[in-house]
Amino acid sequence: MELTPDQIKIAKLEQTLIEVMTELRAARALNEKLSALIDNLNKNLEEKEKPVKTEYNKRIRLESPSTSGDDNDSPVEEEPLADSQSEEESSMDEDEMEVPNEKTDDKTNDKTDDFPPLPNPKPVVQLPPPPKPTTKAQVFTILSLMGI
Residue 57 pLDDT: 57
CA 103 to CA 26: how far, in whole Å? 18
Confidence (pLDDT) at 59: 55
Domain spans, the chain: 5-146
pLDDT in tens, the chain (148 residues): 788 999 999 999 999 999 999 999 999 999 999 999 999 999 988 888 765 555 555 555 555 444 545 554 444 444 444 444 544 454 554 444 444 444 444 444 445 557 777 778 777 777 777 777 667 777 777 777 777 6
Whole-number pLDDT of residue 54: 53
pLDDT for res 105? 47
User: Which 3 state secondary structure label does DSSP give 142?
Assistant: helix
